[in-house]
Structure 1
Amino acid sequence: MNLFEKYGGADFWSDFLNDVYKRLTNSDLTRHHFMNKNISHIKEMLLGLLELTLVSDSHISEAEMKDSHKPMGITNEEFDEWVNIYRTTLQELGVADTDVTFIANMLSSYRSSIVADI
């Protein structure tokens, strides 16, 4: 069974993203990236990306990732906050440690495509 279905499919991951974005928009480090943004659209897009990566173990194009994130000016510190929020939320929702590590490592593999000026 793939990781997307293992924890309940779209319903689980949608709830997960709701928790993550609540934390990201409350974080002093990351909230400015979400002001005047359509969070619902962002969550829908990320739900699709989670399904793609967790079902088929596919990787998102790093060039596309870089193009979409470059204008945001995301720092290493902000990226670390995002990964830590993902990790904490996954743990609190009962995701197995090995799966949390896998997902955090997958996210971390995109650092050079998301963080500005690496």
Structure 2
Amino acid sequence: MNLFQKYGGAEFWSNILNLFYTRVTSSGLLSRHFVDKDIDNVKSMLIGLLEVTLVTEGHYPEDALKEGHRTMEITTAEFDEWVSIYTIVLNESKISEEDSNCILSMIDGYRHCIVSKP
């Protein structure tokens, strides 16, 4: 069974994203990226990313990620904060340590597509 369905499919991951974005939008370091943004649209895109990567163990198109983040000027510290919050949410949501490490490794594999400032 793939990781997406192992924990309950779209509904489970949607709940994780709801918790995650509640925290991210409250982060002093990250909140600036979400002012006047449609968070529901962001979550929908991330559900798609999770499906691609966790169901098929595929790779999300890097060009699309680069283009989507091109003007955001995301720093290494901001990306690290994002990962830190995501890690906490995965742990609180009872994702196994092995599965969390797998997911976080996939996320870190996209760092070069998202971070544009040191």
TM-score by length of 1: 0.96
How far did 1:52 drift?
Answer: 1.3
Bigger fraction of residues in helix: 1
Q: Spell out structure 1 runs of 4+ moving beyond 3 A.
A: none
Paired AA for residue 26 in structure 1: S
Aligned residue for 2:25, secondary structure, equals: helix
For 1:77-96, list aligned pairs within 5 A: 77-96=77-96
What is the distance in 2 between the residues matched to 1:44 and 1:69? 16
Residue of structure 1 in register with 2:34 after alignment = 34
Residue of structure 1 in register with 2:8 after alignment = 8
Residue of structure 2 in register with 1:63 after alignment = 63
How far did 1:86 drift?
Answer: 1.0
Cα-Cα RMSD: 1.0
Paired AA for residue 81 in structure 1: E
What is the distance in 2 between the residues matched to 1:19 and 1:99? 19
Contact 2:76 2:117 in 1 (8 A): no
TM-score by length of 2: 0.96
What is the distance in 1 between the residues matched to 2:72 and 2:89? 23
What is the distance in 2 between the residues matched to 1:74 and 1:104? 18
Aligned residue for 1:71, secondary structure, equals: coil
What is the distance in 1 between the residues matched to 2:42 and 2:64? 16
Q: How many residues align?
A: 118
Bigger fraction of residues in strand: 2
